[in-house]
Amino acid sequence: MGVNRDVRITVGELVLDGFDRVDPGRVAAAFQAELTRLVRERGVPVAADGTRRFEEMTELPELPVTSSPVRLGEALARAVHAGLAGRGRSA
């Protein structure tokens, strides 16, 4: 019988400066879908023991300059997952 490893990620707020003309609802939907996919496929190594919390993440990969809310949401999810995987700094 396998081990059930539930991962819960709560994002209180995403702040995107310089993306005024992008639909925030579509960005959020693409972000959620991509982050869910990444966590299911790759896990979250720094949260393996279930005790890690991040209040803020810095030094994440840059986001593309785009007006596509789907592309932006997916890129944002990859950046956040990189931070959760230990590539970035928690503040």
pTM above 0.85, yes or no: no
Claim to verify: residue 30 and residue 5 sit in the same structural domain: yes
Indicate if 26 and 65 belong to the same structural domain: no
Return the pLDDT at 20.
77
Contacts of the segment 23-31: beta carbons below 8 A, 24+ positions apart: 23/69, 24/69, 26/69, 26/70, 26/73, 27/69, 27/72, 27/73, 27/76, 28/73, 29/73, 30/69, 30/70, 30/71, 30/72, 30/73, 30/74, 30/77, 31/73, 31/74, 31/76, 31/77, 31/80
63 and 37 co-located in one domain: no
What is the domain range of residue 3?
A: 1-48
> What is the per-residue pLDDT across 47-70, written as a single tens digit (0 to 9) for each?
555 556 666 666 677 777 788 999
1 and 41, same domain (yes or no): yes
* Tally of domains within the chain: 2
Domain identity same for 36 and 61 = no
**What pLDDT, in 10s, does the model give residues 3-42?**
446 677 777 777 777 777 888 899 999 999 999 999 888 8
Same domain, 41 and 7: yes
